[in-house]
Amino acid sequence: MIGLTRLKEDDVVEIASTLEEYNADLVRMTGCSLREIAAHAVGKVVSGGYVQNPKVAVIPMTCGQGIIKGFVESVASIIDYLGFDVVITNSRDAGGVAEAVQNSSEILFMADDDRFVAVNVRTGKVSDNGDATGKGYVSGLELMCHGLMRKKVLVIGAGPVGTGAALALMHFGAEVSIYDIDLSASQRLSGRLLKQGYSVKIETDLDGALGRHSILVDACPAEDVILLRHITGDTRIAAPGIPLGVQATGVEQLPKRLLHDPLQIGVATMIFDVL
Ligand code: 2YG
């Protein structure tokens, strides 16, 4: 399974200090806060908060390519911003898991090079960042578009995020088309969705597909996929892919119509997913 590009320190360094601003941007674009978008993604209500306030632990993992400076701090800052009681464990890896559970943390966040998961150790529920990111961005897109029922949406990228996005779009009643540079990836996703009773259209010509769609999910890890000439007054984009796939001159045309961040929506959706 091909994941999104590995984050770098530069991608996450400003997350904690800009959460308030980012949240205000989300409200301007969607009418809803980060907390509301994430809760909407998993069909949960946030008003009045939760009766229980689970303890959350974020565990640094050294395996594979190792620690990304600022990663666990950014994840914890997002969880804290949403009002949860969160700590970063002093120990790393297996020791961090032991420390978290011994300190009665109920929800554990941890990432290696292949997976980024939230685990609720009380219920056994697991949320995967790819799936949660897809769902969270579609939730924001649905709010930005005032509903997606019977609207045509193009998903670019049939990896874990594109898959989560496609499923969420189906749940919102959208008409979904998929493009992936690797046709067999689109076919696999289409087959998987068909087993769940959903039918999607497979696109093989990206330029043509971009000409026919104004609501886009960019879940691929390439730059300059969506060009200025593809953007109209109706274009709305949810872009979880890193780096951003929208041409720089195109971004200027989309001040209130482009959702894009390195971690916030995905992490926020993961925690509501496992509550
Ligand atoms: O604990 C650490 O600091 C590291 N072991 C974290 C490694 C994370 C690697 N994964 C990624 O960079 C991304 N695929 C995460 C995706 C988040 C963006 N949606």
Q: Taking the domains of the chain in order of start, what are their residue ranges?
A: 9-129+264-274, 131-259
Buried b (16+ CB within 10 A) or exposed e, 32-45: bbbbbbbbbbbeee
Give the Cα separation of 168 and 68 in Å (integer).
30
C-alpha 62 to ligand 1 mean position (Å): 11
C-alpha 269 to ligand 1 mean position (Å): 16
Q: 9-129+264-274 maps to which CATH number?
A: 3.40.50.12150
Give the Cα separation of 264 and 275 in Å (integer).
17
- Going by C-alpha positions, the residue among 261, 222, 255, 219 that lies closest to residue 236 is 255
C-alpha 231 to ligand 1 mean position (Å): 31
Top mutation candidate among 1, 2, 5, 7 for ligand 1, by most atoms within 8 Å of CB: 7
For the cut 60, the answer to whether the pLDDT of residue 51 exceeds it is no
Output the pLDDT for position 44: 76
* Mean pLDDT for the stretch of residues 175-198: 96
Residue-wise pLDDT for 54-66, tens only, equals 999 999 999 999 9
For the cut 70, the answer to whether the pLDDT of residue 4 exceeds it is no
* Mean pLDDT for the stretch of residues 92-110: 98
**Length of the chain (residues):** 275
Output the pLDDT for position 53: 85
The ligand 1 atom nearest the CA atom of 62: 5
For the cut 70, the answer to whether the pLDDT of residue 24 exceeds it is yes
Question: Contact 102/54 with Cβ under 8 angstroms?
Answer: no
Element (H, E) at 86: strand 85-88
**For residue 94, is it left (φ>0), alpha (ψ between -120 and 50) or beta?**
alpha
Give the Cα separation of 228 and 246 in Å (integer).
8
Read off the pLDDT band of 241 (50, 70, 90): confident
Output the pLDDT for position 52: 66
**Angle, CA of 108, 114 and 115, to the nearest 5°:** 25
Whether 9-129+264-274 shares its CATH topology with 131-259 is answered yes
Q: Is 136 in the pocket of ligand 1 (CB under 6 A)?
A: no
Residue type for 15, please? I
- Going by C-alpha positions, the residue among 267, 273, 269 that lies closest to residue 77 is 267
Give the Cα separation of 113 and 222 in Å (integer).
19
CATH class belonging to 131-259: alpha beta
Read off the pLDDT band of 186 (50, 70, 90): very high
Q: At what angle do helices 71-81 and 264-274 cross, to 10 degrees?
A: 60
Read off the pLDDT band of 48 (50, 70, 90): low
